[in-house]
């Protein structure tokens, strides 16, 4: 047997993996054009308006609202839902807090559904968690792999719920021939630096429904019914300020031309890695939901016989930087705003609101299978600039660790 690098052996790989090449001449050209315009404010500029037209068009939809982050994009979607205080919104336990904070910011109650073996929400548990106070579902497409959207859509329709898709890790990924973000009522996207397409930071919320769009547009701009400059002001409801600027939108327009090619390259590389790892004893490869493409934002493997911390350390020593457990614990355990209900001042609002009809304890017992999944997961970086040789090195390192740990 080969000696593991962590035990003094020779690592499989000594050179770093390729970094992503994010920006090129088109981004430079458009940003320069934006700066030379001497007007970087969205209302009087042209780039944000164009980005809000071109982004949803790429997905076959009509309406889009740009914002400052993926969290903001989800908040815009929740703002369109317009929940009453104490209403409930069901979402995923394996996600960034950005999928959850907007629920609390609208004084609604986050409810978490268990995951299934896709690492996404189990539709059966989503339906079990629905009450008379449930207003919406936020389906998170983790790592670029789709939720079971056929089931999610049927559940939402059956219970008259609004279905939001968090596509922060799933740009231009197709499910049964349709792009994620277009299957539910509202789709949201992060443009943060690590995403499939990026403007450094930023967000986009898309919909086919005019009624949602009209509220989304106001929600991202303080509820401001703009009538031009001057004293004639009208603010139609309480809302934050999430306006995107012109240089960010300029980068976004250039990125739109690249994003599907990024996904196609990742699909090719991810499929190869799955094939190479398919017979390695003691691990499960990245799951792919039936009918879905997989955008491989990261590549997860699941341990069936190894300690994840030992495996991740050994794999890192072989030259494949790895992380055990992804986010470590379900998101509600990670956030004091949930597990300690630290929200507004000395209150625990909306949890202690007279409008809230039930108490939820966000502890490790809430979604036990989710905890089990995280405790058996190892993830490593993955991007479209990798070569097939890089993928073979990853597979070789994983196999070496699995056989020698």
Rounded CA gap, 133 and 145, in Å? Answer: 29
Average pLDDT over residues 341-367: 95
Asked if residue 250 is part of any domain, the answer here is yes
Q: List pLDDT tens digits, range 146-204.
A: 999 999 999 999 999 999 999 999 999 999 999 999 999 999 999 999 999 999 999 99
Task: Give yes or no: residues 63 and 203 share one domain.
Answer: yes
Q: List pLDDT tens digits, range 291-322.
A: 999 999 999 999 999 999 999 999 999 999 99
Task: Give yes or no: residues 246 and 313 share one domain.
Answer: no
Task: Give yes or no: residues 267 and 243 share one domain.
Answer: no
pLDDT at 381: 84
pLDDT at 173: 98
Average pLDDT over residues 351-374: 95
Task: Give yes or no: residues 212 and 318 share one domain.
Answer: no
Sheet containing 162-166: give its strands across. 63-67, 203-207, 186-190, 162-166, 134-140, 88-91, 109-112
pLDDT at 63: 98
Asked if residue 340 is part of any domain, the answer here is no
Rounded CA gap, 189 and 195, in Å? Answer: 9
pLDDT at 95: 98
- H or E segment at 135? strand 134-140
Asked if residue 357 is part of any domain, the answer here is no
Task: Give yes or no: residues 198 and 323 share one domain.
Answer: no
Task: Give yes or no: residues 182 and 142 share one domain.
Answer: yes
User: Among 200, 231, 257, which residue terminates a domain?
Assistant: 257
Rounded CA gap, 185 and 99, in Å? Answer: 16
pLDDT at 71: 98
Asked if residue 56 is part of any domain, the answer here is yes
pLDDT at 193: 97
pLDDT at 228: 61
Average pLDDT over residues 366-395: 96
Summary mean pLDDT of the chain: 96
Task: Give yes or no: residues 399 and 285 share one domain.
Answer: yes
Asked if residue 165 is part of any domain, the answer here is yes
Question: DSSP character for 229?
Answer: S
Q: What CATH number is attached to the domain comprising 395?
A: 3.90.1150.10
Rounded CA gap, 131 and 123, in Å? Answer: 15
Asked if residue 240 is part of any domain, the answer here is yes
Contacts of 66 (CB under 8 A, 6+ apart): 42, 48, 51, 52, 55, 202, 203, 204, 220, 244, 248, 249, 252
CA-based nearest residue to 72, from 194, 173, 219: 219
pLDDT at 233: 81
Domain with 71 in it: 25-257
The answer, yes or no, to whether residue 229 has pLDDT greater than 90, is no
Task: Give yes or no: residues 61 and 201 share one domain.
Answer: yes
Asked if residue 388 is part of any domain, the answer here is yes
Task: Give yes or no: residues 54 and 147 share one domain.
Answer: yes
Q: List pLDDT tens digits, range 66-90.
A: 999 999 999 999 999 999 999 999 9
Domain count, the chain: 2
User: Among 200, 230, 257, which residue terminates a domain?
Assistant: 257
Rounded CA gap, 201 and 68, in Å? Answer: 7
Contacts of 36 (CB under 8 A, 6+ apart): none
Task: Give yes or no: residues 224 and 140 share one domain.
Answer: yes
User: Among 257, 272, 290, which residue terminates a domain?
Assistant: 257
The answer, yes or no, to whether residue 49 has pLDDT greater than 80, is yes
Contacts of 83 (CB under 8 A, 6+ apart): 89, 106, 107, 108, 135, 136
Task: Give yes or no: residues 88 and 196 share one domain.
Answer: yes
pLDDT at 337: 97
Average pLDDT over residues 339-364: 95
130, 109 Cβ separation under 8 angstroms? no
* Tokens linked to 244: 């995107």
Average pLDDT over residues 260-286: 97
Task: Give yes or no: residues 153 and 289 share one domain.
Answer: no
Q: Are strands 134-140 and 88-91 parallel, antiparallel or unpaired?
A: parallel
Q: What CATH number is attached to the domain comprising 177?
A: 3.40.640.10
pLDDT at 239: 97
State what percent of residues in the chain have pLDDT above 70.
Answer: 99
Asked if residue 342 is part of any domain, the answer here is no
């Amino acid at each position: 047997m080969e000696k593991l690098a962590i035990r003094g052996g020779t690592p499989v790989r000594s050179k770093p993996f390729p970094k992503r090449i994010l920006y090129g001449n088109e981004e430079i050209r458009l940003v320069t054009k934006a700066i030379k315009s001497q007007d970087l404010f969205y209302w009087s500029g042209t780039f944000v308006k164009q980005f809000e037209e071109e982004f949803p068009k790429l997905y076959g939809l009509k309406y889009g609202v740009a914002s400052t982050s993926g969290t903001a994009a989800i908040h815009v979607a929740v703002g369109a839902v317009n929940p009453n205080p104490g209403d409930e919104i069901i979402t995923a336990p394996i996600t960034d807090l950005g999928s959850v904070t907007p629920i609390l910011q609208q004084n609604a109650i986050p409810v978490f559904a268990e995951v299934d073996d896709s690492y996404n929400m189990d539709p059966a548990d989503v339906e079990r968690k629905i009450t008379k106070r449930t207003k919406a579902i936020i389906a998170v497409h983790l790592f670029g792999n789709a939720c079971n959207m056929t089931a999610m859509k049927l559940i939402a329709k059956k219970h008259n719920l609004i279905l939001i898709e968090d596509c922060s890790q799933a740009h231009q990924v197709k499910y049964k021939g349709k792009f994620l973000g277009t299957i539910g009522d509202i789709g949201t996207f992060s443009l943060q630096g690590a995403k499939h397409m990026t403007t450094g930071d930023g967000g986009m919320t898309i919909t086919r429904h005019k009624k949602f769009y009209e509220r989304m547009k106001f929600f991202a701009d303080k509820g401001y019914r703009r009538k031009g400059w001057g004293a004639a002001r009208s603010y139609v409801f309480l809302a934050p300020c999430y306006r995107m600027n012109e240089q960010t939108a300029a980068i976004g327009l250039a990125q739109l031309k690249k994003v599907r090619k990024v996904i196609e390259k990742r699909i090719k590389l991810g499929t190869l890695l799955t094939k190479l790892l398919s017979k390695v004893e003691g691990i499960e490869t990245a799951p792919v939901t039936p009918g879905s493409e997989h955008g491989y934002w990261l590549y997860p493997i699941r341990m069936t016989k190894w300690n994840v911390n030992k495996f991740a350390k050994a794999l890192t020593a072989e030259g494949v930087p790895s992380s055990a457990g992804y986010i470590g614990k379900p998101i509600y355990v990670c956030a004091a705003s949930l597990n300690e209900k630290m929200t507004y001042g000395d209150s625990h609002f909306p949890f202690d609101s007279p409008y809230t009809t039930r108490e939820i304890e966000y502890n490790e017992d809430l979604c036990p299978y989710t905890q089990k999944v995280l405790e058996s997961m190892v993830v490593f970086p993955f991007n479209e600039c990798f070569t097939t040789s890089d993928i073979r090195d990853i597979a070789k390192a994983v196999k070496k660790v699995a056989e020698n740990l």
